[in-house]
Every structure is written in structure tokens, then in C-alpha cells.
Structure 1
Amino acid sequence: MNKKRSILVSLLLISILMITGCSQGKTEEIFPSRDINGIIQWGAGGGTDIISRSLTPHVEAQLGKTIVLQNMTGATGAIAAQYVYGQPADGYTLLYGAENPQLYEVMEISELSYDDFEPIIVIGRETAVVVTTESSGIDSLDQLLDNASDSPGTIKLGTTGPGGLPYVVAALFNAVDKAEFNQIPFDGDGPVVTALLGGHVDVTVTKLSAVKELASAGEVKILGSISEEPITGYEEIPAITSTRPEYSKYLPWGPFYGVYAKKDTSPEIIEILKNAYLKGFQNGEFQEFLSESAITPMGISGDEARDFLENWKKVSSWLLYDAGGAKISPEEIGIERVNP
């Protein structure tokens, strides 16, 4: 009888172990069992939208499922971030975002930041450029800044809202040159550029990837880059420090792109997504796109990505505060000062 009981107990233990093993492997075997939603925090046609739609087909090929991309605009990307944060932590709703959430706290836009998400991949970083049209009559970055300083508020600057790229760069212009603009907000790079082409604004600040084709076609004019050196491959675009070296203390600085899942998503799902996005990132066609768009490839995730995001938040929060563009001091919310 004891022998029979021993056999039964052994069989029971084996069954439990087999079931447990299946459970542990179940996530990896099943995910993704359906399509994934990719929420882009900016409008169609902007830098974040363009890079998201360029990368995603290569990731879909790895996952074997469709990633349904949706533009969700508003509040400098905070509406999209809040939406993704409000979904289950199951890997089926991902945030395609730019740098903006790292400034939400000092701008009092939202309590969220990328601390509340798991970085699947930080794709790359880019240099901001100042853009206008022939009809504006503005021929150089020096002329723009001189005019905005001599006649405050007369030049219409298209922005993506408080904390967006044009807003931050305008704060820099004001800190260094006392330049003031009439800022007109839109829901992303795409709508801003459309407004620029329509003559509704005089100038904007965006990423090169969002306007390089328009610049090649002669529809927009790039006045300069917010960098210490010219952009590789686009040396004809003057760096702002070439005539205004006083901007050097704020540089290097610039926007970046990434894909994020809600924090507390299971490690197994995060690993599947990280591997798929990394392989998509490494695709030759996508790497060629990055090169042509003058986007510096990064392809980082995990601790490396978290360190990058945290350092960017510290540097940029203080940069924005020192330039007069932040509502509260980073010190008040525990963001320590670091040198750029």
C-alpha cells in the first residue's frame, strides 16, 4: 500500500512539474496570439510617425502578427502616454514616443515619464533643425534671431505645445538672444509643417527626417541645426555655433525616438518584444533609412536604455529650467543637476 501511495505521489509530482513547466513556457509560446496596437504620440507625417512606420513592418515580420499603428495626439504626447499606461500590462499596447515624457514633470503636463514604462527599444537620436519657407523672407538663422530679438512676438513660430521640441528650442533662443516668438501650437510635426507650407506660421523647429524630402524639393528652407557641428551628410546646413558660439554650453542636445510597454509587463513578453524590435532595427533597409535621415542609430533596451533616459531627463529638465522654459525647478521633484 505504501509502495502504491509512493508511486501515486511521484506521478502527482511529475504531473505538477509538467503543468508548471507548460505554464512557464506558455507566455513565450502564445505571445503574440493576436495583433498588437502601436500608439504614436504625435500626428501623421512628423518625425515620430515617419520612423515608427519605417521600423514597424520589419518588426511585424519577426513577430508574425500585425502591429496596428494609430496616431493619438494632444498635450505634447501625454494623451497617448496616458492611454497606453491605462491599458493592461500584457504587451498588446505599445507606446511609440519621442523625448517629451521626460519633461512632463517640470512642465506640469503629467505625472508620467518613461519611468512608468519598460523601454523595448530606444531607436535613435536626432538633431533639431530650424525651418522656414522662401516666402517668409528669412534667409538665415542669424537674421531670424536678430528679428525675434528686435521685434519680440512678431514672428510666428509653429510649435507642438509646451515641452515639445520647438518650445524647448525657443526657450534656448530666449535665454541666449532674448528672442521672443508668437508661438502657435499644433498636434505634431506634420501639422506644424503643413501650417508652415500654408503660410500660417513663419518658422518652426523640427527633426531633419520630417522635412528632408521637402527641403530637397525646395518647398522648405533649413536655416540651421541646433548643434555644435554640421550634420553628417548635410554639411550645407550651418550649425548654430558657427555664428553663435555662446550656444555651445547647452550642447549637445536633441530629440530621440523609442518604443515602450507598460511597466510590470511580464519579463517573458518584454524579451520577445525586445528581440523582435532589435532584429527589425538591424534590418538593412531600416539602417539605410536611418542613415539617409541623419538619425544616429542606438538600438538599446534594458538597463542601458534606462540609464540613457534618466540622464536625458536630468540634463534636459535643468536645461529647460535654466533657459526659462520650465514651470517648476527640477530640484523640487528630485531631479538632480548634471552637466550636459
Structure 2
Amino acid sequence: MMKNVLATLAVSAGTLALAAPAFAEYPERNIEGIIQWGAGGATDNVARSLTPHVEEALGTSIVLTNRPGGTGVIGMNTVLTKPANGYTVLYGAENPQLYPIMGLADFTYDDMTPINVIGQGLVVIAAPADKEWNNFGDLLEEAQANPGTLRMGGTGAGGLPSTVLAMINSVDELDVRNVTFGGDGPGITAMLGGHIDFMPLSLAAAQEHIASGRLKGLAILTKESIEELPDVPPITESLPQIESYLPWGPFWAVAVREDTPDDIVKTLSDAYEKGVANEQFQQFLSKNGAQSLNLQGEEAEQFLNRWQSVTAWALEKAGSAKVSPEEVGIPKP
């Protein structure tokens, strides 16, 4: 009798073992990487340069997809609507931190878990090479002589160009027509074709075009000249009043939905930390005038909150915020 009971238990245990799902270690399949800006822009360039090193650390492929539109809202919303299982990650820029004050969306990076704040870039105001301007002061002079006629490339409300324009207009007057594109890349293409007159850009997107002579740099959004573009003057030479906003620049980050399990977040964080630290990627950042940050966890959250505070209140001062930062709970810096 006892033998029969034991035999029955053994069969039952074996059946349960076969029926129970195997808990494979993450990741067991490819990961989708959503880039919230278009091909050829700074965020796209950073994502595609970094990802191979992260794939090596994870042991799986990350399939990159560009989802531009709405100043990055479409790409971020895509990630927020996918399951919180670590198989969809956002490659984003700084724009989500300004969505509430620009009236674009009610979510920010606070609604996600930051995996890595990769680095921070510099901004260059660029123009087609055949423009007669030699610096930003020349552009400003023409714009003030012919208000509303020059065409500036933009990426939508809360994008890098509109933020730079707001900073400029908080200390002077630059009245231009804003032509919106889905990212740095399409804007640069339009500039090369003579369809727009100038555009504030991430140095990571513009540097090679300036170095090759296809574009010219009018100003770097810094207080001093930089090694990467020694012939391009700092903006303070033409507009010293803007110094109070400097240093300022865009950043790039990787994030997942905030309710993603902790063990998956740790796996991703470790892999992206290794990827950002990779020597080849560090050379990419340096070549493009960007500062490596490689922040995770609490340090990443502190950086995101500080950047949001400084920029949101600068836009409020310039009169460019549609909603007061105070109204949406953003503290003063």
C-alpha cells in the first residue's frame, strides 16, 4: 500500500514539474529600444553607438526603432503602454522633463525608472556654410533688422531649439519663424538643402557637418571656447547677458516603466553602466564634445530633478512656459 502511495506521489510531482513554467533568467529574448527622436539626430547617434556594447553585456540583441513626434511624446508613450517586463526600453533626451510646463503631456521621467543617464552634450547654433554670418551676433543683427523673416529649425515646444530660443529671448530679442522637424537629423537635412536659415543643435549631431564644411558654427552655448570646435566662439561673446543660464546642455537617458521588477532594473543598469564605460563609447562622447555621466539609481534621479528645476524656471522667466512650474510641483532651483 505504501509503495503505491509513494509511486502516486512521485508521478504527481513529476507531472507538476512538467506543467510548471520554467523561470528563465532575464533576458531570454530580444529587447526593443525605442528612440524618441528621428534617425541621424543626437539621441539616435548616441543610442546606436552605445547599444552594441550593452548587447555584449546582456548577451542578447536590442532592436532599435525610431518613434519621433510630439517632441518625443510618441516614443515615450509607446514605452509607457508596453508591459513593465524590461523588454521595452526608452532611449530619450531631456525633453520629457519639460512636458508638463509646455502642455505636451502629464508624464515625465518621474513616471519611469531611470536605467542610466548616459551623458550631457553641448549646444551649437549652426547655419548653412554659404551664409554670410560669421557669428551669432551677425545673425542677431539681421534678425532684428528683419523681424519674423529668418527661418529657425525646431523640434517642437520643449525641444532643444525652442528652449535655447527662450533663453535668448529672456535677455534679448530674436524674432524668427519656427519650422518644426522630427529631430536634429531632418533639421540638418533641411539646412543643407537651404530650406531653413539656422538651428540650435546638439554638438553630437552637428560636429561632423561643421568639421566637413557643410555647415558653419555661429556660437557654442558656453562661456568659453571648446577644443572640439576652436574656431566657433562662445555665445557670450555676442550675447554676454545669457551667461546666467550657463552651463546648460541636453542629456541622454535610458529608462523603463517605473513598475519594472527590481531584478530586471538591476540587470539593465549593470549592462548599461558597462556599455557607457566602454572605451569606444567614451571616445564617441569625447569626439562629440559630450560629458560622460553614467548615472544610475538615486544619482540619476537627482540629476533629472535638478535639470528639470533649472530649465523649467528659466523658461518661466522667459515667458515661454505654458504652465507655471510651481503649478505642476517643480521646485525653484
User: TM-score, normalised on structure 2?
Assistant: 0.92
> In structure 2, how many angstroms separate the alpha carbons of the residues matched to 1:151 and 1:318?
30
Contact map agreement 2:124 2:206 (CA 8 A) in 1: no
- In the alignment, is residue 159 of structure 1 matched against residue 161 of structure 2? no
The CA deviation at 1:231 is 2.5
Determine which of 163, 167, 171 is the counterpart of 1:168: 163
Q: Does 1:69 align with 2:64?
A: yes
Is the aligned partner of 1:330 residue 2:304? no
Which residue does 2:4 correspond to in 1? Answer: none
Q: Which runs of 5+ in 1 are unaligned?
A: 1-14
Instruction: Say whether the 8 Å CA contact 1:153–1:182 is kept in structure 2.
Output: yes
Q: Distance in 2 between matches of 1:44 and 1:321?
A: 31
SS of residue paired to 1:332: coil
Residue 46 of structure 1 pairs with residue 36 of structure 2: no
Distance (Å, rounded) in 2 between the aligned partners of 1:239 and 1:318 = 23
- The Cα of 1:242 is off from its aligned counterpart by 2.4
CA–CA distance in 1 between the matches of 2:280 and 2:248? 27
Shift of 1:134: 2.5
The aligned residue for residue 135 of structure 2 is 140
Aligned partner of 1:202 among 197, 221, 232: 197
Cα deviation 1:208-232 (Å, max 9, x = unaligned):
1101111111100011111112224
Post-superposition CA distance 1:227-285 (Å, at most 9, x none): 11222433322111123221111111110001101101001000000011111111111
Residues 228 and 288, structure 2, Cα contact 8 Å, conserved in 1: no
* Root mean square deviation, CA, Å: 1.9
Please state if 1:265 is matched with 2:260: yes
SS in 2 for 1:42: coil
| Equivalent in the alignment of 1:188 | 183
Does the residue aligned with 1:331 lie in a helix, a strand or coil? coil
**How many Å separate the matches in 2 of 1:148 and 1:74?**
28
Q: Is the 2:166–2:320 Cα contact (8 Å) retained in structure 1?
A: yes
Q: Secondary structure at 1:152's aligned position in 2?
A: coil
Say which structure is richer in helix.
1
- CA distances 1:87-135 after superposition (whole Å, capped 9, x unpaired): 1110000000000000000001001100011111001001111000133
Instruction: Give the distance between the partners of 2:186 and 2:258, measured in 1 at CA.
Output: 31
SS at match of 1:95: strand
Kept after mapping to 1: 8 A contact 2:192/2:215: yes
> How far does residue 324 in structure 1 lie from its aligned partner after superposition?
1.9
| Equivalent in the alignment of 1:297 | 292
> Helix, strand or coil for the counterpart of 1:30?
coil
Match of 2:217 in 1: 222
Q: Secondary structure at the match of 2:113?
A: strand
* 1:185-209 deviation per Cα after TM superposition (whole angstroms, max 9, x unaligned): 0100000000000111000010111
- Give per-residue Cα distances to partners, 1:75-94, cap 9 Å, x unaligned: 00001111100111100000
Residue identity opposite 1:80 in structure 2:
G
Whole-Å separation in 2 of the counterparts to 1:233 and 1:72: 30
Higher mean alpha-carbon deviation, 166-175 vs 271-280, is at 166-175
Contact 1:89 1:261 in 2 (8 A): yes
Distance 2:38 2:309 in 1: 27
Give, in whole Å, the separation in 1 of the partners of 2:255 and 2:145: 43
- Of the structure 1 ranges 328-337 and 134-143, higher mean CA displacement relative to structure 2 is found in 134-143
Correspondent of 1:115 among 110, 116, 133: 110
Q: Which residue of 2 aligns with 1:129?
A: 124
Once residues 246 and 98 of structure 1 are traced to their aligned partners in structure 2, the CA distance between those partners, rounded to angstroms, is 27
| SS in structure 2 of the partner of residue 223 of structure 1 | strand
Give the aligned partner of residue 3 of structure 2: none
Which residue identity is paired with 1:286? F
User: Under a length normalisation based on structure 1, what TM-score does the superposition of the two structures give?
Assistant: 0.90
Gaps of 5+ in 2: 1-12
Alignment partners' CA distance in 2, 1:122 and 1:271: 14
Q: Answer yes or no: is the 8 Å Cα contact 1:119–1:306 preserved in 2.
A: yes
Query: Quick one: distance in 1 between partners of 2:316 and 2:262?
Result: 36
Amino acid at match of 1:153: G
Matched, 1:251 2:246: yes
Query: Match of 2:121, as an amino acid?
Result: E
Q: CA deviation at 1:328?
A: 1.5
CA contact (8 A) 2:136 2:238 kept: no
- Distance, in Å, in 2 between the alignment partners of 1:265 and 1:75 is 25
Mean CA deviation greater in 324-333 or 185-194? 324-333
> Offset at 1:144?
0.8
